[in-house]
Amino acid sequence: MDASPRAVARSLWPVWGLGAVLVLSLLAEAAALSVGVAPAPGGYWVGYASTILVVVGVGYAVYVMPRSDISPARYPRLNRWWIAGASGFLLVNVGFMATLPTETAFQVFGWGRWAIGFGGGVGLVIGLFEARAIEREVAAERSRLRQAELRSERDRLEEFASVVSHDLRNPLNVVRGRIDLARRAHPEDEHLEAAEPALDRMDEIIGETLALAREGKSVDGVDDVDLAECARECWSRVDAPDAALRVDGSATVRADRDRLSHVFENLFRNSVEHGGRDVTVRVGVLDGGDGFFVEDDGVGIPADQVDRVRETGFTSSADGTGFGLAIVDRIVDAHGWELRIAEGDDGGVRFEIRGVERSEEATRASAAEGADRAPHR
């Protein structure tokens, strides 16, 4: 929490204030016993030791409160539980004192001190349990509201993207048809030839806009997916005849296969687009087995752009759309995974995806030799 220790001390002053009084009482009683003012009555040291435990517990609670998940809004209730426990248990014990014989005033004083400390400690423990229960309920409610907002936002985004896609693609198809007719009549026209790649790029942007809207949805169903098999299959769909893929081992993970395929395809195209047509891309399992990585030996990502490459529309390439890594980030987040970007072993870029759940079935160990070591072109 954001509360400072000083703020916590001010908010919990009834707790630590009464705790300080108990400390002074313990010191005074110890001094009185040491000089022989009064003898220690039967059972006195048990109550004395239990009060010390309460004081230590209160001190620890005040110390750790700023670092706990309990909101400062719960502190007034903790104060009330502490006071209610101390006063209620004291009243009960006053009734016992009135009916049971007491030897000296020192015994009455010690009994009262024990009742206040023990009752306050029990009340504080109850208050802490209640505060944590309230925090869990508040967190769960916030999570439900946040999920509802995200679902509503994603539905609106998908609806918008679908409308834009439909409204753009229809006139785009008309323009493409007209250009095809015009090229038949004027096959050497350089202006018509230059217009066709622009139409292709517009179609690509529309497709990736739809993908960006749809891939951000939470994953409802997952299956066992072999990473190596999925990576090779995705590599076969990447237009990079001079590039090479190297798969170092594999693992069976729990994932949405279609979306995981989009992750691999976008990361592969990013490597080819920025690392060059002859780039080598490596896929493998992270040490510890909690995820996988995709890295290349290209030029890497400049340090001042690492935090921006996930932004929708950001690209350092004239031919890029700026959607690829944004789509990857959405898919990773939808699975509950974590995407980290680092420098590759050979100077390129390394994408690490962590927090991936592995299948209960045995996963294959990393292959140090064999066909996986050979580049697949």
Residue 320 pLDDT > 60: no
Residue 366 pLDDT > 50: no
Instruction: Give the model's pLDDT for residue 259.
Output: 84
Structure confidence by residue, pLDDT tens digits, 246-275: 998 888 999 988 888 888 988 898 888 877
Residues 234-238 have a mean pLDDT of 87
Q: Coil, strand, or helix at residue 159?
A: helix
Nearest Cα neighbor of 64 from 135, 9, 134 is 9
Instruction: Give the model's pLDDT for residue 261.
Output: 87
More confidently predicted of 159 and 116: 116
Structure confidence by residue, pLDDT tens digits, 270-298: 888 877 778 899 999 998 878 999 998 88
Query: How many percent of the chain have pLDDT more than 70?
Result: 81
Residues 47-56 have a mean pLDDT of 89
Residues 314-332 have a mean pLDDT of 67
Instruction: Give the model's pLDDT for residue 336.
Output: 87
Residue 300 pLDDT > 60: yes
Distance CA 310, CA 219 (A): 20
Residue 100 pLDDT > 70: yes
More confidently predicted of 69 and 285: 285
Instruction: Give the model's pLDDT for residue 67.
Output: 78
Residues 184-199 have a mean pLDDT of 80
Least-confidence region, from 2-11, 50-59, 127-136: 2-11
Instruction: Give the model's pLDDT for residue 373.
Output: 47
**Amino acid making up residue 96:** F
Distance CA 352, CA 361 (A): 23
Instruction: Give the model's pLDDT for residue 367.
Output: 43
Residue 45 pLDDT > 80: yes
Instruction: Give the model's pLDDT for residue 368.
Output: 42
Least-confidence region, from 212-216, 291-295, 315-319: 315-319
Half-sphere exposure at residue 57, Cβ-oriented, CA atoms within 13 angstroms? 16
More confidently predicted of 347 and 83: 83
Mean of all residue pLDDT scores within the chain: 80
Residues 66-86 have a mean pLDDT of 86
Structure tokens belonging to residue 52: 């010390």
More confidently predicted of 111 and 161: 111
Long-range CB pairs of 53-59, under 8 A, 24+ apart, other chains included: 53/121, 54/19, 54/22, 54/117, 54/118, 54/120, 54/121, 55/19, 55/22, 55/23, 55/26, 55/117, 57/121, 57/124, 58/15, 58/16, 58/19, 58/120, 58/121, 58/124, 59/16, 59/19
pLDDT category at 372 given cuts 50, 70, 90 is low
pLDDT category at 363 given cuts 50, 70, 90 is very low
Structure confidence by residue, pLDDT tens digits, 139-156: 899 888 888 887 777 777
Contact between residue 57 and residue 121 where contact means Cβ atoms under 8 Å apart: yes
